[in-house]
Amino acid sequence: MSFLISIVALVVAFLYGGPEALVLTLILGVLEVSLSFDNAVINATVLRRMSEFWQKIFLTIGIVIAVFGMRLVFPLAVVWIASGLNPVQALDLALNPPADGAAHFANGDPSYETIITDAHPQIAAFGGMFLLMLFLGFIFEDKEITWLSWLERPLIRIGKLDQLSVVIASTVLVITAAFIAHDGEQSTVMIAGVLGMISYILVNGLGELFNVDEEGDEPSTGPSDLAKAAGKAGFFLFLYLEVLDASFSFDGVIGAFAITADPILIALGLGLIGALFVRSLTVYLVRQGTLSEYVYLEHGAHWAIGALAFILMYSIGTPVPEIVTGMVGVVLIVAALITSIIRRRREGDDELPATADTALVDTKE
């Protein structure tokens, strides 16, 4: 289905703006996919804990939010708020940029692209801190299986210190505002970063709270591990997924403006091609039980999240090429996949004699 919709999106792009629009949309789709492998894995880890009803909600309403909300409405909302224009004027500004490509109109008003670029520090601070909290929650969580054991096990031990994630995230935020952010942006970065932390703590905490109320079990670190969360718990896991997906999409949306400022092409490339591909990959991982078979994938995805969080914070002061952001995530996930395959084969070799004996008993019976 995602391939069919991608073809439709490319056809629409061609009809909208000719061959150039077609190429730009294809590039945007590739950009989003390259940045979103870790997003798909993390989405799958949460989605498999939700009831079938909430899984369907995420794959229907959630995709509408991802495609039209984050890839079309969000950039327009940024322009609307930052420039003081009303929504109609913001859309007109996006669809009718200066003919000469200048950064400003004749009357001195900033262009759509300029406004979005200027809003990058607060967007990156919010998304970076949300993802950093998610990463820290995972690496400090006590777990049976570790990937980078030489590093993860000591982190699990020191993670027993109460609220260590908040302490580290706050320290990173202060360092970013003091030494990385440009002059005049410090307070904006601090406020946006704190809001990102609050959003994570609130949404994650509500999910755990309602899982305890409905299931009668103890909460776990990060999104609840309780299977098939429904009702209020399912709703808050859905909300958690949407905020998480939004945080992942910030870098793609901002990076898209290095390619084109046209909101229609961004919605087609990042949304209909990229976001739908991520949803398809998420569904595949859940239905195939891939995360259970390849046990290090979740670890690799979280380490990719940690890398993305630090890249977002660093990018507040220094631009980071999208190829770097995308490749870091891909390399970590591929490494996790390879080591998972090696572990699986090793375990399969160890269990082979027992499997043969079981087959013999079944035959005799």
Q: What is the pLDDT of residues 343-352, one digit of tens each?
A: 888 877 665 4
CA neighbours within 13 Å on the CB side: how many for 8?
A: 9
CA distance 365 to 349: 25
Average confidence score pLDDT of the chain: 78
Q: Report whether pLDDT(6) > 80.
A: yes
Q: How far is Cα of residue 133 from the mean position of the Cα atoms in its chain?
A: 13
- CB-neighbour burial class of residue 33 (10 A; exposed 0-12, middle 13-18, buried 19+): buried
To which residue do tokens 């995805």 refer? Answer: 301
Is residue 355 situated within a structural domain?
no
Please count the other Cβ atoms lying within 10 Å of the Cβ belonging to residue 204. 25
Q: Could you tell me the residue range of the domain that residue 252 belongs to?
A: 2-347
Please count the other Cβ atoms lying within 10 Å of the Cβ belonging to residue 183. 5
| Prediction pTM value | 0.74
Is residue 143 situated within a structural domain?
yes
Report pLDDT for 251. 65
Report pLDDT for 255. 67
Is residue 318 situated within a structural domain?
yes
Q: Which of 73-82, 121-130, 247-256 has the highest mean pLDDT?
A: 121-130
Q: What are the phi and psi torsion angles at 339 (to 5°)?
A: -65, -30
CA neighbours within 13 Å on the CB side: how many for 106?
A: 2
Total number of domains in the chain? 1
Higher per-residue pLDDT: 291 or 84: 291
- Our CA angle for 197, 221, 63, nearest 5°, is 65
